[in-house]
């Protein structure tokens, strides 16, 4: 998919209207809880697009959120079968990390979106993981976990766009050892370690919850 800072996507009137409605519904919920976005960037593929919004949050939170709009509307280009992700993504990071690595973060999230559309081959579910990748920003855990948006208001867990049910997934950077733990023993084993520990999954400099 091509990345653009501005629109330049050839869309039919129906597609444009459909996207505008989707954006209105989802963005209004984002803004209700996260206030005004600071930045928007667009990734396009033919007549389809995904918008990535940056929400700096307030000073008391000290985190920045990155979240998509439009991923839930795109279907794969698999020649044998088509499937839709049916979801949007969010990532929560310490504010200083978001400032220092802003471009890397945006590129990474667009890379993840492309992976989901072109490689994953199925809809997202809680507990879906992606193995370690060199595409992760410098200094980060290299694997990823898709989880429900913990610590966010219930209204953000899903959206209804007409008859479509759209889930919001929290994208969590995890270590290779944590990825292996989840693959072998399931998400419950990871959750148990998290609940008994004293770390924040938002902190990319945290220690691994699993031994190597």
pTM (whole model) above 0.85: yes
Long-range contacts of 157-160 (CB under 8 A, 24+ apart): 159/25, 159/26, 159/29, 159/88, 160/25
What pLDDT is attached to residue 123? Answer: 76
Three-state DSSP at 54 gives strand
What pLDDT is attached to residue 82? Answer: 56
Q: Both tokens of residue 71?
A: 């991923």
Please state whether 21 falls in left (phi above 0), alpha (psi between -120 and 50) or beta: alpha
Beta bridge partners of 41: 52
Task: List per-residue pLDDT tens for the chain, 212 residues long.
Answer: 545 544 444 568 888 899 999 999 999 999 999 999 999 999 886 677 899 999 998 878 899 999 999 999 887 665 455 557 789 999 999 999 999 999 999 999 999 998 888 876 667 899 999 999 999 999 999 999 999 999 999 999 999 999 999 999 999 999 999 999 999 999 999 999 999 988 999 999 999 999 74
What pLDDT is attached to residue 79? Answer: 45
Can you tell me the distance from the alpha carbon of 77 to that of 143, in angstroms, rounded to the nearest whole number?
25
Can you tell me the distance from the alpha carbon of 23 to that of 15, in angstroms, rounded to the nearest whole number?
12
What pLDDT is attached to residue 46? Answer: 66
What pLDDT is attached to residue 76? Answer: 67
Start-end of H helices in the chain: 13-34, 95-100, 102-115, 176-185, 187-196
């Amino acid at each position: 998919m091509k990345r653009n800072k501005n629109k330049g996507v050839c869309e039919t009137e129906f597609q444009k209207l459909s996207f505008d409605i989707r954006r209105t519904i989802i963005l209004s919920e984002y803004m209700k809880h996260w206030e005004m976005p600071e930045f928007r960037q667009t990734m396009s593929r033919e007549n389809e697009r995904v918008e990535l919004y940056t929400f700096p949050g307030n000073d008391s939170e000290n985190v920045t959120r990155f979240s998509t709009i439009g991923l839930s509307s795109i279907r794969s280009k698999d020649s044998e079968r088509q499937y839709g992700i049916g979801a949007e993504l969010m990532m929560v990071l310490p504010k200083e990390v978001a400032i220092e690595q802003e471009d890397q973060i945006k590129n990474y999230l667009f890379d993840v979106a492309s992976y989901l559309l072109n490689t994953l081959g199925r809809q997202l579910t809680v507990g879906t993981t992606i193995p370690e990748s060199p595409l992760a920003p410098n200094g980060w855990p290299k694997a990823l976990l898709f989880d429900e948006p913990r610590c966010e208001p219930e209204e953000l867990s899903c959206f209804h766009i007409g008859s479509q049910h759209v889930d919001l997934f929290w994208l969590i950077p995890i270590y290779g050892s944590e990825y292996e733990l989840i693959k072998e023993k399931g998400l419950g084993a990871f959750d148990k370690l998290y609940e008994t520990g004293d770390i924040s999954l938002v902190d990319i400099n945290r220690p691994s919850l699993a031994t190597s």
